Amino acid sequence: MRLDCAVLGGGPAGLSAAFYLARTGLRTTVVEAGVLGGRCAALGLVSNHPAFPEGIIGRELAGRYAAQARAHGASFLAARARSVEERGGGLLVSLDGGALLARSVIVATGSEFLPLGLPEEERFRGRGLEHAPLDAAHLWRGRSVAVVGGGEAAAHQALRLAEAGATVRLWVRGADFRAVAPLRRALSCNRRVAVRTGVSVRELLGGERLGAVVLEEGGRRRREEVDALFVLVGQRPRLPGLPERAPGLFIAGDAAGLPRQTSVAAGSGIQQAMAAAAFLSS
Ligand SMILES: Cc1cc2nc3c(=O)[nH]c(=O)nc-3n(C[C@H](O)[C@H](O)[C@H](O)COP(=O)(O)OP(=O)(O)OC[C@H]3O[C@@H](n4cnc5c(N)ncnc54)[C@H](O)[C@@H]3O)c2cc1C
């Protein structure tokens, strides 16, 4: 059966797109490789989503996005999308174990974290070198960890780890820290977080797990022990194999390189769903 729209990724962007498409009566399937709700499902209190003045826990918000799409008739498929290609006047989505044919595709596969670019990084990934603890911050209670990064994601993670009871060193490579004033205030008031600027991580050391790093600060190198290093030095769109251009192909949310916010992703999903609906009726 050919779908009207295959939505790749079930985060805020994909679920909002699916809700809009399904409510106009279009046959829509969301393909999700992990957890419905995407990154949003792992966030703690989301305090910057419109219409929730008290904030809302990420998992609950994610559940609402999914419930709305389901209530309007979208269906869900647990699979990873590998690639999209033009086929027989439509689009063929190759999955890990099967394929889907659709008249249109919305790619809403989110973003991935950038690495530091150090030789030992792959070896330690998941073994002391992490990206986002998100709702697993409590695992680091009583531990001494470091966060590397100079933006808001790094600031959020440092605070979340500190709230969960970890002692946190926040290392910023540049001379300045790019975060909004309330975040800076929260960091400077938190006695569990020590912020240092002008610090670069040069080497990762350890056996089975990461145990220490070599830092460069003011032209000098020195070793520091860490229980874990959280790397939040940027993100890039995470996309399956895509044709450069294809009629009926749309990209939404973090995957489109938009500002990474849940509400922006949801709005972009709706915008791309409207574009897809217009394409399908033309
Ligand atoms: C540490 C951190 C803190 C944040 N805090 C906030 C905050 O306080 N407020 C806020 O508004 N935003 C916050 N964000 C950003 C917010 O989580 C994202 O902007 C939002 O989730 C993006 O939605 P999305 O649907 O585009 O992508 P995602 O939420 O990433 O969803 C993408 C989905 O696609 C799936 N997927 C990926 N590849 C495939 C594939 N090939 N096939 C099938 N499925 C696939 C993934 O499993 C995932 O479920 C935070 C992000 C991070 C990392």
Residues in Cβ contact with 162 at an 8 Å cutoff, skipping those fewer than 6 apart = 168, 190, 192, 193
Report the C-alpha gap between 49 and 68 in whole angstroms: 17
> How many whole angstroms separate alpha carbon 235 and alpha carbon 110?
10
Instruction: Quote the strand ranges of 60-208, DSSP E.
Output: 75-78, 81-87, 90-95, 98-107, 111-113, 129-130, 144-148, 167-172, 193-197, 199-206
Decide: 235 in ligand 1 pocket, CB within 6 A: no
Which comes out higher in pLDDT, residue 159 or 65? 65
pLDDT category at 66 given cuts 50, 70, 90 is very high
Half-sphere exposure (CA, 13 Å, Cβ side) for 240?
A: 26
Q: How far apart are CA 85 and CA 90, in angstroms?
A: 9
Model confidence band, residue 44 (pLDDT cutoffs 50, 70, 90) = confident
Q: Which of 262, 263, 264 to mutate to test the pocket of ligand 1 (most atoms within 8 A of CB)?
A: 262
Highest mean pLDDT, choosing among 118-127, 128-137, 168-177, 249-258 = 249-258
CB-based contact 177:195 (threshold 8 Å) = yes
Summary mean pLDDT of the chain? 94
Q: Can you tell me the distance from the alpha carbon of 129 to that of 230, in angstroms, rounded to the nearest whole number?
A: 6
Rounded mean pLDDT, 26-31: 98
- Residue 89 vs residues 3, 8, 279: alpha-carbon distances, Å: 13, 19, 13
The amino acid at 45:
L
Q: Which atom of ligand 1 is nearest to the CA of 13?
A: 25
Residue nearest to atom 5 of ligand 1 (CA): 43
Average pLDDT over residues 102-107: 98
Question: Domains in the chain, start-ordered, CATH in brackets?
Answer: 3-112+235-281 (3.50.50.60), 115-231 (3.50.50.60)
Instruction: Report the range of poorest mean pLDDT among 39-48, 51-60, 208-217, 257-266.
Output: 39-48
> From the CA atom positions of the chain, what is the Rg in Å?
21
pLDDT band of 133, cuts 50, 70, 90 = low
Pocket lining: 40 vs ligand 1, CB cutoff 6 Å: yes
Q: Tokens 């729209």 belong to which residue?
A: 5
pTM above 0.85, yes or no: yes
The tokens 């999209």 sit on which residue?
A: 84
Tens-place pLDDT, residues 204-234: 999 999 999 999 999 999 999 999 999 999 9
pLDDT tens figures, 173-209? 998 888 778 888 888 999 999 999 999 999 999 999 9
Residue nearest to atom 20 of ligand 1 (CA): 262
Residue 36 Cα: closest atom of ligand 1: 49
Strand partners, 107: 8, 251
